[in-house]
Chain A
C-alpha cells in the first residue's frame, strides 16, 4: 500500500452537550511534513488533536493514522503517536529524570535502557543540570522541553504538538522551533496547532485554518499570506471623516479596497508588494488627506482571519476547548 498519508481524517465531529466544538473537519497530513493547524482560542484545534490522540472519543467522522483506525484500535494509535500537550503534561512531583524514566518504563523499556534513554534525552534537550531538581523550579521553557522529550522516548513516527510555544518568551520560542525542525530530519511527521501565523509560517509546510469548528482554508503558509497581501500598510488619518475619500484613493491605485478598522480614520491596506506603500502615501498627499501615523506590518493572524472568514479572530466566543 503506497498511501503516504500520516493522518487521514474525514468529517471529524465533536459535541460537548449542545456545543459543537468540531464540525466536520478533514485533515490530510502527508508523511514527513510539518502540518500546522492555525486558529484562535476555542476554534477546536485542541479538541481535534485530542480526538486523534485517543484522548477524547470521536463523535462523528472517520480518522486513520498510518492506515490504523483511531476509533477501533486506540492501543495501536498510542504506540504511533507522541503527544505534547498545551500545558506541560509531566509529573510535578517527580524530577525531570524520574519523569523520563517512568514514561520509558511505561512504554516497555527495561530499567537500564530507560535510564540511559532518560540521560540521552536530558542531554539533547539541555536539561542535564536541572535533571534532579524538583520541577517546581523549572521555567516554562524547560517544562515544555521536558514535555517534548517525554514524547520522543520511543521515536514515534507521528508527533502532536499542541501550541508548543504559547506563553514562551521569544528566545525560548526560537529554540523550540529549532528543536521541532530537527525532529522532521529524523523522519517524524509533525502535526502542530498554533495561534500564531508566524509560527505556522516558520515551521509548517502546509497549514489548515480552523474557525468555529470548521476548516476555512488549507494551503502553504505563503499562499495563505498572499491572500491578505505580503504585508499591510496601516494608516491613521488626521480627520476620521476622510475615510471614504482615502479608501477611494487606495482603490484607484491598487485596485483593491482597504480593510477599515473599528477606530475612526484607521485602515489597513493589503500590499501585494511593500514598495507600493509609497504610491499610496503619495496618492493621499496629492488628494490633500492628512496622515497622523503610518506603518508597514506583516499580516497578522487576525487579518488572515478577517480575509478568510469576514470576522476577526477576537470575536470568537471564548469557549475554551473542553477537556
Chain B
C-alpha cells in the first residue's frame, strides 16, 4: 500500500465556527474522568463559598462545644454515675448527632442553591448530573472533619481519656466522617425533591431527631422499654455509635464497625441514584 501525502492548502479561516465539526466532537455522556473533574470543580465552588460565608460553620463549631459540655454535666451523674464514666458513652453519641446536623445542612443548602439562577447554567452545561450534587458533599467532608475533631477535643478537655489511643481516635473520626457523608445522600435526595429550603429543614428535623434520640447515642439501649429497644437496635445510627465507641474506647475493629460501614454503603447505593434521578427530572 502506498501512502500519498496530500497537502491541502491551509485555508485561512479566522476562528470560523464549524457546526458539523462541533457535532462530530460531541460525546453522548461524561466519561468517568470528566465526571471526576466536574465533581472536583463543583467541590472547589463549595469551598470558595464556605470561605466567604464563615457563618455556615456555626453549627459545626458551636454544637460540639456546647452539647458535649452540656450533656456531660447534666446527664453524666444520672446515667453513668459520674461525668467521667459518662464521657466514653457520650462522646461517640455527640459525634453521630453532630454529623447528622451537618448532613441536614447539606440538604438545606443544596435546595437553596438549586433555586439560584446559576443552577440553570449548571444544567445547561454538558456535565454529569451527579457533579452538582457530589461536589458540595466532597467539600462537606471538611465540615464533618472539623465537627468530629472539635467534639473529641472538647471531650478531652473535660476529662475524656479514650482507651483506644491515637489510632482508635483517628479510626473513630474517619468512620464518623464516612457515616456523615453517606447519610448526607438521604438529605441531598430530600433537597432535590422538596419545594423549598424550609420544607427540607422541616422534614430533615423530623428524620434527624428520632434517628439520634431513638438510638444508643445518649443512653444505654438496655434501659429502654422492649419495643423501643428493638427499634434502637436496628437504627443505623446505633451501629455507627457502637462502632465509634469500640474504636475510641478499645481501639478494636469489631463486627459493629463492619455493620456500620455496610449500612452506610447501602444508604449511598440507594439514595445516591435516587438523588441524581430526582435532580435530572427537575429540569
Contact = CB atoms under 8 A, between A and B. Distances in A.
B161 interface: no
B194 to A, nearest CB: 16
A219 interface: no
B124 interface: yes
B283 interface: yes
A31 B44 CA distance: 37
B27 A98 contact: no
A129 interface: no
Contacts of A155: 15, 17
Contacts of B141: none
Contacts of B49: 93-94
A8 to B, nearest CB: 13
B41 A75 contact: no
B33 to A, nearest CB: 10
A80 B22 CA distance: 7
Interface size class of A (residues with CB under 8 A): 35 or more
Given A79-B126, A80-B22, A157-B22, A103 B16 contact: no
A185 to B, nearest CB: 9
Contacts of B123: 54-55
Contacts of A269: none
Contacts of B15: 155, 186-187
Contact of B118 (A80, A89, A188): A89
B52 A93 contact: yes
B53 A93 contact: yes
Contact of B121 (A67, A79, A85, A157): A85
B48 to A, nearest CB: 6
A32 to B, nearest CB: 9
A15 interface: no
A312 to B, nearest CB: 31
A305 interface: no
B28 A73 contact: yes
A79 B45 contact: no
Interface string A91-103: 1111000100011
Contacts of A88: 117
A250 interface: no
Given A98-B48, A107-B126, A157-B22, A89 B121 contact: yes
B27 A75 contact: yes
B41 A102 contact: yes
B120 A83 contact: yes
A90 B126 CA distance: 16
B22 A6 contact: no
Q: Which secondary structure characterizes the binding site on chain B?
A: helix
Interface in A38-93: 53-57, 66-68, 73, 75-76, 78-81, 83, 85, 87-93
B82 interface: no
Interface in A233-292: none
Nearest to A114: B41
Contacts of B52: 93
A105 interface: yes
B30 interface: yes
A322 interface: no
A150 interface: yes
A107 B41 CA distance: 10
A73 B29 CA distance: 9
Nearest to B123: A55
A287 B106 CA distance: 77
A105 B41 contact: yes
A107 B26 CA distance: 12
B118 A91 contact: yes
Interface centre among B29, B34, B123, B126, by most chain A C-beta atoms within 10 angstroms, is B126
Contact of B27 (A66, A76, A85, A93): A76
B281 to A, nearest CB: 8
A78 B30 CA distance: 11
A159 to B, nearest CB: 10
B130 interface: no
A79 B122 CA distance: 12
Contacts of B38: 105-106
Contact of B117 (A75, A90, A156): A90
Contact of B48 (A57, A78, A94): A94
A302 B38 CA distance: 46
Given A106-B38, A158-B19, 14 more contacts: A6-B19, A66-B22, A66-B23, A78-B125, A79-B22, A89-B118, A90-B121, A92-B118, A103-B121, A107-B126, A108-B34, A157-B18, A157-B22, A189-B19
13 contacts: A57-B283, A75-B30, A78-B125, A78-B126, A79-B22, A85-B121, A89-B121, A91-B116, A91-B118, A106-B122, A108-B37, A186-B17, A187-B16
Interface of A: 6, 31, 53-57, 66-68, 73, 75-76, 78-81, 83, 85, 87-94, 98, 102-103, 105-108, 150, 155-158, 186-189
**8 nearest CB pairs, A to B:** A187-B17, A78-B126, A157-B19, A76-B26, A105-B41, A89-B117, A83-B124, A89-B121
